[in-house]
Amino acid sequence: MGRSVDAFLDDRDVADAVLAHVRDGTTDRGDEVWREPVAAYRSSERLDAELRRVLRRMPTPFCPSAALPGPGSFVAREAAGIPLLVVRGDDGRVRAFRNVCRHRGNELASGTGCSRAFVCRYHGWTYGLDGALRHVPHAAGFPDLSREKHGLVPVTAEEQRGLVFVTQEPCAPSAEPWHGLPPLIGSDQALLDARSLEVGVNWKIHLEGFLEGYHIRSTHPESFYPYGYDNLNLIELCGRNSRVTFPFRRIEKLASMPPAERRVDGLLTYVYHLFPNALVTVLSRHTNLVVLEPLAVDRTRLHTYTLTNRDLGAEGVESARRDATFVNQSGAAEDLAVVLAIQRGLASGANECFTFGHFESAIVHFHRNLAAVLAD
């Protein structure tokens, strides 16, 4: 099962482990083969269960803290099929609400922006940054209205590791989902871009493409492979989360350096999977938060936030943009083409299940945990 850890390795230990694999011609291996029925990717009933029993009941990343830089900053979008409004208050605290007016149910805000209050464009009911109902036009028409009971409906929001997590329908408490995670996005990382893209693929198929390096040589022969390795990865499993390390060939220069002086910046890519539906990818010059929101069994909306890496400073913004452009136009486009092709083949009947082997243990870890939460 990969490397089961209480906390992810620090950079120096990662460098040691990668260099040992390079020396020995090895890679991390799991101890289990998992067979996932193709029906689990095609069933509307299964997707409904994933939404109701997993994505709405667990703390899931919604956006980076950097997307809410000051009081009144907000992000409004659907999560697990439910419209949410996440906003930073005057006290600096992030709060989340169902993005629904308490009068006639109209959506209050959309996209991103900054506002001192949220005014329903249907009848003008107005809510503060804390969700309280502040104003009702012609209030005499609602003589028995309790403003205290007609504020926006809150959902749980927590800031952890540079991310905002939301929990829509809390269930029995379990281990903190961010246990063992390092700080993922620092306060010095500038938000460069935020975008959404709808793709015609099941959310799990798209997710799986991030979680193994077994495909690097065949899928990315001219983009990633010339700089990296074929099937050489570290795979760490921490709680329900995981991290896959994709080293570049230039990491070999560290072998001649004292271990205490080794730094891995620019020498590898970290891909953190935050169970169930988010990824933080730390590349050479930029970091992405990708949240996969299922829309249907064959449609997913990707919400991607791109930030500079740590310690780049103002002069590093353009290098981060160039790095992001290269990745998006090469390797990311190649990955998308593959997962779309997999989606087209689901109905062919060629496979009753997909087989995930010893080099795909982060995917095995994901499916085992998803099955366990669904069965709970």
The number of beta carbons lying within 10 Å of the beta carbon of residue 101 is 23
Residue 139, classed as helix, strand or coil, is: helix
Using a CB cutoff of 8 Å and minimum separation of 24, what contacts does 332-341 make? 334/219, 334/220, 334/223, 335/209, 335/210, 335/219, 336/199, 338/209, 338/215, 338/219, 339/199, 339/201, 339/205, 339/206, 339/208, 339/209, 340/199, 340/200, 340/201
| Integer angstrom CA distances of residue 256 from 82, 110, 246, 253, 262 | 53, 53, 20, 6, 10
- Contact, 176 vs 156, CB < 8 A? no
Q: Taking 60 as the threshold, does the pLDDT of residue 1 lie above it?
A: no
* Tokens coding 81: 């099929």
Position 227 scores a pLDDT of 94
CA distance 248 to 47: 37
Residue 373, classed as helix, strand or coil, is: helix
β partners of residue 103 = none
pLDDT digits (tens, 9 = 90+) for 108-129: 999 999 999 999 999 999 999 9
Position 313 scores a pLDDT of 67
Sequence-ordered strand ranges (E) for 259-338? 268-274, 278-282, 286-296, 299-308
Chain-centroid distance, C-alpha 222: 27
Helix, strand, coil % in the chain, rounded to nearest 5: 30, 30, 40
Position 45 scores a pLDDT of 98
Angle at 352 between CA 291 and CA 33, to 5 degrees: 70
Query: How many CA within 13 A on the CB side of residue 332?
Result: 15
Closest residue by Cα to residue 106 from 146, 152, 148, 71: 152
Position 174 scores a pLDDT of 64
Position 2 scores a pLDDT of 75
Residue where the block lists tokens 């009144």: 72
Provide mean pLDDT across the span 215-219: 96
Residue where the block lists tokens 């990865």: 233
Over its C-alpha atoms, the chain yields an Rg (Å, rounded) of: 22
pLDDT digits (tens, 9 = 90+) for 281-314: 999 999 999 999 999 999 999 999 999 998 776 6
- Contact, 244 vs 211, CB < 8 A? yes
Could you confirm whether domain 60-167 is CATH 3.40.50.2300? Answer: no
CATH superfamily of this structure's domain 3-57+181-375: Naphthalene 1,2-dioxygenase Alpha Subunit; Chain A, domain 1 (3.90.380.10)
pLDDT category of residue 37 using cuts at 50, 70 and 90: very high
Where does CATH 2.102.10.10 sit in the chain? 60-167
Q: Taking 80 as the threshold, does the pLDDT of residue 15 lie above it?
A: yes
Q: What is the mean pLDDT of the chain?
A: 95
The number of beta carbons lying within 10 Å of the beta carbon of residue 64 is 25
Using a CB cutoff of 8 Å and minimum separation of 24, what contacts does 224-233 make? 224/330, 224/331, 229/22, 231/27, 231/359, 232/18, 232/21, 232/22, 232/26, 232/27, 233/27, 233/28, 233/359
Q: Taking 80 as the threshold, does the pLDDT of residue 147 lie above it?
A: yes
Position 376 scores a pLDDT of 84
The number of beta carbons lying within 10 Å of the beta carbon of residue 345 is 12
Q: Taking 90 as the threshold, does the pLDDT of residue 320 lie above it?
A: no
Position 175 scores a pLDDT of 66
* Tokens coding 280: 């933080």
Helices (H), the chain: 11-24, 39-42, 44-50, 203-208, 216-219, 317-329, 331-345, 361-375
* Tokens coding 231: 């099937």
What is the DSSP-derived secondary structure letter of residue 204? H
* Tokens coding 97: 């609400």
